[in-house]
Amino acid sequence: MTSFKKIFWLNIFIVIIIAFNLRAPITTIGPMVDVIKEEFNLNSTFLGILTSLPLIAFGSISFIVGYFSAIRAVIVGIFLIFIGELLRSYLGLYGLFIGMLAIGCGIAIANVVLPSFIKEKFPKQMSSVMGLYSFILSVSSIVGIALATPLLHAFNLSLAMVFWAIFAFIALVIYFPQAKNGRLFRAKKPSSKQVNIFKHPTTWKITLFMGFQSFLAYSLFFWYVQIVTEKGFAKDFATNMLLFGQLVAMPVSLFGPLLLGKIKKEYHTSYIAILCAMYAISFGILLICNNEFMIILGAFIMGFPWGGVFGIVLLFIAQKSHNAQIAARLSAFAQGFGYLIAAQGQWIIGFLHDQFGNFSGAIVMLFAIGIIVNIVGYLSYKSEVIK
């Protein structure tokens, strides 16, 4: 194997091993919410705040990541995920909150660095590798959800939560030697032209697209099981529906960005519109219907945008940036503000449930956000490249 091929597959493996740590540590919490609520005597509002902490961290940390060495930033990010998983498992109530925040900070760092890394290392395979990255995020989400209940049956809550530290440790062991040898990132070249992305309309369109689609995705990760359970279904069924939605999302996350890069331009708008509209349709079913078949159908429809929309956002960040430096800044800005928008969903849903005693108001809100995602997705697609 030539040196070029070795470096290519090394970079691919780095994307995979890091991406696997970016969802499971937080998606596993959804099926565990009722156990955490009982263990720490939390109401729905505080539970919503707890699940908002990773997203608040995503938003806050994303702004400053670009000012640090990418090599060191990724190491710090993986280390924070590892430490956070230990803290939330073994230091009681305070550790639970601090650990969730630390995990969020670690994930935020990798979230920002990887899209610009992909643009720089895979300029000719950008759609394919972005699809792979999105696919591994879906796999990570599914594994987190799928193993949550079995882990709780096999171990206590602390061991069930700390289990994910194993994968963060593996990522550290594999990544650190490569980073130390300087084989991952070339030195950044100074940009010949400083672009003020804050004043560019494309920045705000993609940021809103990122924010509102994340608002929906993470609201589902943390509250979907409780919403379905409250309709009178068993928790195992509700967890299986969450898992089913993610299983549908998995192939869409892999092939969605690739498909958008392959189909004719005149079909792009229709593809994005249909994909985003599926969110609103699934929430309409969840609000109105209470029979098992319709819940299954709603989870199936929900899986398409759940898997496909995030990959399109990442693709837009790369496509609408003239170079890797602009992509890194756009990624930091869009994910920074975007996740701060997304973080509001968790506590708002918890608050609405405490106020009204059910999730109906929350589902109506999610339906409205689904329509907004459709609008900002179209505007993002039509936006100009930032130069």
Token pair recorded at residue 50 = 């707890």
pLDDT score of 69:
64
**How far, in Å, are 96, 157, 287 from residue 367 at the CA level?**
31, 33, 9
Confidence of residue 180 (pLDDT cuts 50, 70, 90): low
- C-alpha to C-alpha distance for 157 and 8, rounded to whole angstroms: 40
Give which of 342, 347, 339, 344 is closest to 58, Cα–Cα.
339
> Helices in the chain by DSSP H: which ranges?
3-19, 24-27, 33-40, 44-65, 70-90, 92-121, 126-154, 157-162, 165-180, 201-230, 235-262, 268-288, 292-319, 324-356, 360-382
The rounded distance, in Å, linking the Cα atoms of 80 and 70 is 15
Q: Which tokens is 212 given?
A: 């509102």
Query: Rounded to two decimals, what is the model's pTM?
Result: 0.73
Taking the CA atoms of the chain, what radius of gyration do you get in angstroms? 20
List the chain domain ranges.
3-382
Give the pLDDT confidence of 312-360 residue by residue, as tens digits. 887 788 778 877 677 777 877 887 888 888 888 888 998 898 888 888 8
The CATH architecture to which 3-382 belongs is Up-down Bundle (1.20)
Rounded to an integer, what distance in angstroms lies between the CA atom of residue 381 and that of residue 358?
37
Write the DSSP symbol of residue 321. Answer: B
C-alpha separations of 185 from 118, 174, 176, 192 in Å: 11, 16, 13, 20
Convert the pLDDT of each residue in 82-123 to its tens digit: 999 999 989 888 999 999 999 989 988 887 777 666 766 777
